Structure 1
């Protein structure tokens, strides 16, 4: 499928009936489940990686910074891997696609932010494909959070 993380842009239609947000280029064909993350600033969810699982992130409310890292060695990844930063906001109406082979780290830039996450694996498959890494690898979270205060 895809080899690198990327953004799928959505759109907005406004008329007298109200506002309609859409992401028509986001296919749900391979999606098997979804879940919702409720986050506040200063809460870091890092690092979780997947050899087989794709993740799709959509901000329902608020704003998030999501970092992705291509993992070189699953049992002992290099400490100098480069993290790519993505900023997702409810206003921009975008989906971040993170393919298999990556770890991700997430934090909310606003309190009470809500992130919708789609997965191509069911929960049992996902449990067997979960790799957790030290939160202090690849991104200086403390300084990223200080930037928001």
Structure 2
């Protein structure tokens, strides 16, 4: 059993026959999730970061293109250390689903034009807004190696 206190990838499973293929995630429980949203970045190299929650859990699934997603466990929500080291996940539409537990901030950069990524949230919109913690996108800056075009 995977620990729910650290990020991890739910592996994608597939089967195929003469009718086509089936992609599934039978180990993933969707009960705790209340909403989802899809983000499209038309321009390659768009950074969307850092967005964190003390209470909210997220699932992340790339729908189109390639993304590098970083997660970082926040040590102090009012004054986090600049020395924290982000976890790196290179994902595309063939990857599994990234689980991000409460207590983490995350950010993503799309490596292709018109990248599309889907987020599932364990909080409704009001709960999420009350638990919303944002940090400047370059506060931890693992993005430089990708030559970003846009920081949000």
Q: TM-score normalized by structure 2? A: 0.90
Structure 1 counterpart of 2:141, from 139, 142, 145: 139
What's the counterpart of residue 50 of structure 1?
53
Q: Aligned partners of 2:85 and 2:144: how far apart in 1? A: 17
Counterparts of 1:1-149 in structure 2 under 5 Å?
2-39=4-41, 40-92=43-95, 94-145=96-147
| Secondary structure class of the residue paired with 1:46 | strand
* CA drift at 1:20: 1.6
Paired residues of 1:31 and 1:120 also in contact (CA < 8 A): yes
Q: Aligned partners of 1:113 and 1:16: how far apart in 2? A: 30
- Unmatched 5+ stretches in structure 2: none
Paired residues of 1:48 and 1:104 also in contact (CA < 8 A): yes
Q: Aligned partners of 2:13 and 2:103: how far apart in 1? A: 29
Q: Aligned partners of 2:65 and 2:80: how far apart in 1? A: 32
Higher mean alpha-carbon deviation, 1-10 vs 74-83, is at 1-10
Paired residues of 1:55 and 1:119 also in contact (CA < 8 A): yes
Q: Aligned partners of 2:14 and 2:141: how far apart in 1? A: 33
Q: Aligned partners of 2:142 and 2:94: how far apart in 1? A: 26
Q: What is the aligned-residue RMSD (CA, Å)?
A: 1.4
Count of matched residue pairs: 145
- CA deviations 1:22-52 (Å, max 9, x no partner) are 1111110101000001123211001001000
Paired residues of 1:47 and 1:103 also in contact (CA < 8 A): yes
